[in-house]
Amino acid sequence: MNPSDTQQHDRAAREFARLLDIMSRLRSPDGGCPWDLEQTFRTIAPYTIEEAYEVADAIEREDMGDLREELGDLLFQVAFHSQMASEEGAFEAADVAAAINEKMIRRHPHVFDAADDRSSDDQIIAWEVMKAAERASKAKSKESHSALDGVALSLPALMRAEKLQKRAARTGFDWAEPEPIFDKLDEETQELKEAMASGDAEAILDEMGDLLFVAANLARRLNVDPEIALRQANAKFERRFRAMEALASERGQDFTALDLDAQEALWQDVKKTERTT
């Protein structure tokens, strides 16, 4: 390690220690912040998830200033949870760091063990084997064990669907090719139409979920991250919709007063403009 790295590590240690001190003071019964004192793991969890998404958003926008700030907010969440755990005598921030340090060293013997020499593909296989072994070890204390253990309930539904499908595929429960999934999509679409015809709201909800689940499976088979694909689709829709509103304004039209055919014409104009630029 060169002197510059040492200085950076020393500064990081000092600043993280300062963050822990700030968090401890915020949670202090003697002069702490009333709001922070009222919080629990459950009440803070939504903020933790939100901060992770804001990190992803800053990355998507390639805004390094925002990324630095959002990573700080996410780190604060780590400090918050660690402080609450320390108060309960469960673990401390140092235990959190030690656990991830040990895990990363254990999962990267090709880096930290000079005797281990493996390729990138070998590492991917070994990584999955080690994660499976870790999950199996955790499951020993439970009454039952499933290949689906460890897929967090709090994940976004689309992301969780993909992870559940990946776990199931490791047991052999998977289509060999993407083509049959299109047939399954047609089947689920027809079942959704039948539910719509029946007017049964619960059945419509159920069949809509099945359709989305199969769509996520198709994305996985095509090596497409469904969360990224949908995020890009959202961004494209937002971009085109805003362009439609702007185009209507340029033409002296009230977009909200236009009928659907007129709005669709604007949509097609926007798409043509995108293809020619």
CATH number, span 3-106: 1.10.287.1080
Tokens of 84: 């609450």
DSSP H helices, 199-225, are: 201-221
At the topology level, CATH places domain 146-224 in: Helix Hairpins (1.10.287)
SS3 79: helix
pTM, two decimals, is: 0.62
pLDDT tens digits, 20-31: 999 999 999 999
Query: Quick check: do 3-106 and 146-224 share a fold?
Result: yes
CA distances 215 to 192, 194, 195, Å, are 14, 19, 18
CA distances 245 to 197, 225, 231, Å, are 34, 30, 21
Domain boundaries, the chain: 3-106, 108-145, 146-224, 228-276
Provide the pLDDT for residue 107. 83
Percent of the chain exceeding pLDDT 90 equals 68
Q: Of 82, 102, 100, whose CA–CA distance to 92 is shortest? A: 82
Judge whether residue 144 has pLDDT over 90: no
Q: What residues have CB less than 8 Å from 55, skipping those under 6 apart?
A: 67, 70, 71, 74
pLDDT tens digits, 69-85: 999 999 999 999 999 99
